[in-house]
Structure 1
Amino acid sequence: MEINENTKEFFGSCHCGNVRFHCKLETELLNTETLRCNCSYCLKVRFWEIIVCPKDFKLLKGENDQGNYLNGSKVNDNYFCKGCGVNTYSLIKMEGVPNAPFYAVNVTTIEGITHEQLSKLKITFLDGATDNWQNEPKYHSHI
């Protein structure tokens, strides 16, 4: 997913506010693609991501308040707040994943998105469980 010239800055944070970031996304959120993956990590933490180019992401606060978990691939950095445990974003560097490296920001940590907007976001389901990133998994309503 490419960010076009029609972008807007958004702020996000973990639950306790120790980790804060900003990123640029399409102004019309309802047209922005979001992703849900069935890999063992994303499934367990219920990670719902939106892709952000590295140049469009900046950590504002909390570098020392974050933990970093390397999941099974041992190359993707999954950041979470040490205080409240919320997974705020990941840095995806794994070979074979389209557009890598990129930040995968947890949609639910972006401030100002209403429940109505969240319910209308477009979701693409990824089959990370079998490294079949180009195709939707057979079962996905649970992710």
Structure 2
Amino acid sequence: MKNEIKTSWKGNMLFKAETLGGTVLIDTAEENGGQGLGVRPKALMLTALAGCTGMDIASLFKKMRVEVDDIDIDVEADLTDEHPKFYDKVKVIYRFYGKNLDKDKIEKAVTLSQEKYCGVSEMFRKFSDLTHEIHYLEKK
């Protein structure tokens, strides 16, 4: 299946991307010649990773009948010092909120997402050390 986005320059360092499902403004900080009007390109990659695994988990929870009150997914990444700069270490941090959480099913869903379903995770593994951790918390 072929995916396609259309990106147009809006002046300075600002670009507008028409993507599958929406529009994204891409820019950089003022100190780098931008106006700070959009998301940074590398940050979009981390966002895609969190969104991909999050959607996997939400879908798996529905099938597995896992009840949680909320889910937070944070991504921490180390950028290399030399150009081209890329993320060489990436950690996905899952936080599941609720009472009487079924930790076995939650861990199974996270593992299935990371090892089988999330294509963005698979792409990250091609160039970075991708790890994850899970935290269980009472209601927010």
State the TM-score, normalizing by the size of structure 1. Answer: 0.24
**The structure with more radius of gyration:** 2
Tell me which of the two structures has the higher relative contact order, counting C-alpha pairs closer than 8 angstroms and 6 or more residues apart. 1
More helix per residue: 2
